């Protein structure tokens, strides 16, 4: 079965689990910085790590929204959407 994705709702993406998953990935990436030799363990350092994760999440979500807007505009102009072939395994 072939499925074509023609329009992706921006609110669907923003109010799903996607932002939480992006934040968790950014938080894990920020906390991996604890293993660097220059790391000084203080409260301000931890707050900086969390703020860096929030900043990365917001930047990624803004870029995702711009990509979705461009994708939806291109699909509205008549360009084909992404086609996926699904196979049913029994």
- Which tens digits make up the pLDDT trace of 21-62? 999 999 999 888 888 777 778 888 889 889 999 999 999 999
Q: Note the pTM of the prediction, 2 decimals.
A: 0.78
Is-contact 51 30, C-beta < 8 A? Answer: no
Residue 38 within any structural domain of the chain: yes
Mean pLDDT across the chain, nearest whole number?
89
Q: Classify each residue of 26-48 as buried b or exposed e, where b means 16 or more C-beta atoms within 10 Å of its C-beta.
A: bbeebeeeeeeeeeeeeeeeeee
38: domain range? 2-85
Phi, psi torsion values for 35, nearest 5 degrees: -85, 5
| Calpha distance 2→47 (Å, rounded) | 47
Q: Give the total number of structural domains in the chain.
A: 1
Residue 90 within any structural domain of the chain: no
Spatial CB neighbours of 50, under 8 Å, sequence gap ≥ 6: 27, 30
Residue 8 within any structural domain of the chain: yes
Q: Phi/psi zone of residue 78: left (φ > 0), alpha (ψ -120 to 50 degrees), beta?
A: left
């Amino acid at each position: 079965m072939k499925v074509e994705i023609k329009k992706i709702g921006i609110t669907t993406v923003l109010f799903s689990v996607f932002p939480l998953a992006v934040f968790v990935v950014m938080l894990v990436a920020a906390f991996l910085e604890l293993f660097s030799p220059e790391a000084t363990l203080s409260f301000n350092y931890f707050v900086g790590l969390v703020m860096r994760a929030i900043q990365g999440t917001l930047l990624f979500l803004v870029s995702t929204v711009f990509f979705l807007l461009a994708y939806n505009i291109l699909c509205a102009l008549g360009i084909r959407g992404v086609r996926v072939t699904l196979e049913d395994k029994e």
